[in-house]
Structure 1
Amino acid sequence: MTQIHVAELRIQDVVDVLSSVQSLAFLDKSVFNAIGEQLQVIHRKRYKQQIDPDGNAWTPLNAKYEAKKKEDANYQDILQYTGKMLDTLTHQATDYGVKFGSNAIQAASQHYGRDGIPSRKFIGINAADRAIIAEEIADAYEVWLAKQG
């Protein structure tokens, strides 16, 4: 199965946020899984808004293709015709980080663009996302620290 991971968070990515922390022992699969779940929520919301991680609207459909789609009773917005692309967003957590992305072959074509398909970036992390991730990590650290006492 082809896997495409466009956003990946590793322990090294959070070290700056936790520079004052004495131990990273609290960072484990459960913390990274919680981060992955947050990324699911973030990306689903953006996907439905049809915006990229920086808040820019996706490139609209070309007029000819949009007209053809509108003839179909099941017409939906960009990348939402069947809902399958959204359902392929997934995360995989380990004790060392979390991978987030899609395992759909067409995800790369949509994200990066290809053969007349414009790039519509739908996976990625922005500053606001990093703040949410930092909160998740800080909460996990506080829980871990309380258990150490």
Structure 2
Amino acid sequence: MTDKGIRLEVREDQIIAGLEKLDAANGSLSDANNAIGAYLVTSTQRRFERETGPDGKPWQRLKPRTAARRIKGRPRGYANILRVSRRLEQSIVYEADDEGIAVGTNVIYAAIQHLGGTIAMPERQQTIYQNYDAKTDTLDQTFRTRGRSNFARDVTVGAHEIKIPGRPYLGIDDADRTEIAAIIEDHYLGEDAR
């Protein structure tokens, strides 16, 4: 199992007892753990659709400034938290063997989205684009794209912090516990039937 990055461990006594019983009867948990891992990937991806954590709590709503940001010419809106590009959602994978199951992602920003945190942004120089009206000698303060502006200037953006709320997506809920127990039972009964 991968041991790099942040590790959240879920230990459920009933699930462990069921797996121990299956291991004693079968001698291998590989098939059951693969089935559980595949199920947990799907369950985790459903959390992105529902925008809720494993505890059933809805994720914190986007800030109005984020919702107003334009993507492909349209306002982003409040829907699809963590799913604009779907990269994080689609990167969820699992590893399973006789020892256990790991569900996660290799996306670099996954941990801060799950746990929340603060990003310290250093001071930087940036070019902004606006429109200047020579007839009235006024500068429209609205920011524009380079192609839609006739005036550019370099500005200093001061150091600041960006606070990202935690939006947990990894973990298991009661429905997952029930389904995992059913998977274990199916594998156990499948061994008895042979």
| Corresponding residue of 2:147 | none
Shift of 1:18: 6.1
TM-score where L is the length of structure 1: 0.82
- Whole-angstrom distance in 2 between the partners of 1:37 and 1:58: 24
Shift of 1:57: 0.9
Which amino acid is 1:125 matched to? I
Shift of 1:95: 1.1
Q: 1:114 aligns with which of 96, 105, 117?
A: 117
Equivalences for residues 96-135 of structure 1 within 5 A: 96-115=99-118, 116-135=163-182
TM-score where L is the length of structure 2: 0.65
| Corresponding residue of 1:31 | 32
CA contact (8 A) 1:6 1:100 kept: no
More helix by share: 1
Instruction: Indicate the RMSD between aligned Cα atoms, in angstroms.
Output: 2.8
Ranked by relative contact order (alpha carbons within 8 Å, sequence separation 6 or more), the top structure is: 1
- CA separation of 1:55/1:70 partners in 2, compared to 1, >3 Å: closer, same or farther? farther
Shift of 1:78: 0.8
Aligned residue for 1:122, secondary structure, equals coil
Query: Percentage identity across aligned positions?
Result: 28
CA contact (8 A) 1:5 1:101 kept: no
Shift of 1:118: 0.3
Post-superposition CA distance 1:86-108 (Å, at most 9, x none) = 11111000112111112212110
Which amino acid is 1:63 matched to? P
Aligned residue for 1:145, secondary structure, equals helix
User: Between Structure 1 and Structure 2, how many residues are aligned?
Assistant: 146
Gaps of 5+ in 2: 119-162
More strand by share: 2
Aligned residue for 1:110, secondary structure, equals helix
Which region of structure 1 is more displaced relative to structure 2, 39-48 or 73-82?
73-82
- Larger Rg belongs to: 2
Shift of 1:23: 2.1
Shift of 1:45: 1.2
Post-superposition CA distance 1:36-58 (Å, at most 9, x none) = 11111111112111111122110
